[in-house]
Amino acid sequence: KGDAHRMTFSTETMTSDWVAHAVPDFTVQSCVDDDCPNEITSTGQTPTVHITATDDKGRTAIDQILFKRTTI
């Protein structure tokens, strides 16, 4: 429990830093064998990790899907 940061990068330079305070414990789910929500995988991208958290009242605090960066 505590703070969660969502940092965005362009190449090696951080372009933004969003902070959520008083974040509850979260769950990290590997997206292997279609474990992630269908509406995410139907985009044609393959998700890598699904991160979720709920507050003390059961409301969604974090719902983040991460994708592996493509290599060129």
Q: Which tens digits make up the pLDDT trace of 32-69?
A: 655 666 555 566 667 778 888 888 888 888 888 887 76
3-class DSSP state of 39: helix
User: Rounded CA gap, 3 and 69, in Å?
Assistant: 25
Closest CA to 52 of 43, 42, 44, 63: 63
Higher pLDDT, 35 or 23: 23
pLDDT score at 20: 82
In sequence order, what are the beta bridge partners of 55? none
- Find tokens 């505590």 and name the residue: 2
The average pLDDT across 13-24 equals: 87
pLDDT score at 59: 87
pLDDT score at 60: 87
C-alpha distances in angstroms, 27 versus 4, 56, 60?
A: 13, 15, 12
Contact 29, 35 (CB under 8 A): yes
